[in-house]
Amino acid sequence: MRDYIKKCPECGGSNLLFQKEKGEAICRDCGLVIEEKMIDFGQEWREFSDEESKRRRTGAPMTFTKYDKGLGTDIGQKGEIYQLSAKGKNKYFRLRKWQHRISTAIERNLKLALAELKRVSSYLKLPKSVEEEAARIYHSAVQRGLVRGRSMESVVAGALYAACRRHEVPRTLDELSEASGMDKKEVGRTYRFITRELGIKILPSNPVDYLPRFVSALKLSAKTQSKAVDILNDARKAELTSGRGPTGIAAASLYVAALINNEKRTQREVADVAGVTEVTIRNRYKELLNELKLSDKIRKKLKEIEGESQFSSS
């Protein structure tokens, strides 16, 4: 955590005082309050849970933390502090006090939001690491004043959605909106907004990430799952994945994989757990057959199945 703030951006001094509990670093030379944001991505954060002792180092890689010069509530501008008279210093400390008050208001908000976050996250059975990541994101959003004009719930939902994506345990927007009781559009909007504003990079969601959940919901075998992964990889090579909804592709390849492994599920069943329609599965499925030359395999497999069933029934 200290690796990436080494020098005061204002005076260039390296004599920094870290105050983790306030999430600040203060330059002992010029008094600049640096980088409130640092606590967002850092390991130490107070309010996550009652199990404070069990902190884990998960989530945001350090590459995501960029020091952002122009933002943040730095009181004590332009290195003037060290030149001030006693009077000026009083003013400076008064301002610091305000800063503190604001931050306690933020914390009050945070407590409410965290309760909501916990509720939604447990409803979706999300892992703890995702919850923490979402809390971090929410915290950043609050500090940057991104919640203003938006409902707390929608920001929580957006943060959770982003955290899910980051941790490669994606939930669909539908699931999030159902769990949070927010409009899907609203969740999507705030999600886009906060990720843009916070500079959170989200990789385009990988269909593979959806598979484990679908597989278990459909009670399919691990073999089928890995088959589906293979199919997805091929599909990506054939450029079938870009621009399409990841869930649709995941569902279709799972459908095909189940077919091949003689664990057939109806299109409707697969469509339901994936949250897409049969039509979409059919379209993707058709593309898979065409582009990946899977039709032969399937035909062969179906013959085998036919043969087996004749065998067993006689």
Partner DNA sequence: AAGACGAAAGTGGTTGA
Partner DNA sequence: TCAACAACTTTCGTCTT
Residue choice 266, 290, 295, 309 for contact with DNA (CB under 7 A) = 266
Single out the segment in contact with DNA by CB under 7 A; choices: 105-113, 133-141, 156-164, 261-269: 261-269
> For 91-120, what is the HEC assignment?
HHHHHHHHHHHHHHHHHHHHHHHHHHHHHH
The answer to the question of residue 20 lying near DNA (CB under 7 A) is no
The answer to the question of residue 244 lying near DNA (CB under 7 A) is yes
The answer to the question of residue 276 lying near DNA (CB under 7 A) is yes
Minimum gap (Å) between residue 248 Cβ and DNA: 4
Q: Which of 255, 266, 269 is nearest to 298 (CA)?
A: 255
Residue choice 2, 46, 196, 268 for contact with DNA (CB under 7 A) = 268
Alpha-carbon separation of residue 190 from 11, 196, 249 (angstroms): 37, 10, 26
Residue choice 28, 96, 128, 192 for contact with DNA (CB under 7 A) = 192
Q: How many residues bind DNA (CB under 7 A)?
A: 23
Residue choice 59, 76, 170, 248 for contact with DNA (CB under 7 A) = 248
- The DSSP bridge partners found for residue 18 are 25
Single out the segment in contact with DNA by CB under 7 A; choices: 58-66, 72-80, 120-128, 242-250: 242-250
Residues in the chain, total: 314
The answer to the question of residue 65 lying near DNA (CB under 7 A) is no
Minimum gap (Å) between residue 184 Cβ and DNA: 6
The answer to the question of residue 205 lying near DNA (CB under 7 A) is no
Q: Which phi and psi (to 5°) does residue 96 adopt?
A: -60, -40
Residue choice 279, 295, 303, 307 for contact with DNA (CB under 7 A) = 279
Burial class (CB in 10 A: 0-12, 13-18, 19+), 141: buried
Q: x/- string (CB under 7 A) for DNA, residues 171-190?
A: -------------xx--x--
Residue choice 264, 299, 300, 303 for contact with DNA (CB under 7 A) = 264
Question: Judged by CB, which is closer to DNA: 42, or 245?
Answer: 245
The answer to the question of residue 301 lying near DNA (CB under 7 A) is no
Sign of the CA dihedral running 240, 241, 243, 248: positive
Single out the segment in contact with DNA by CB under 7 A; choices: 64-72, 111-119, 145-153, 282-290: 282-290
Minimum gap (Å) between residue 214 Cβ and DNA: 14
Name the site residues for DNA (rule: CB under 7 A).
184-185, 188, 192, 243-245, 248, 264, 266-268, 275-280, 282-286
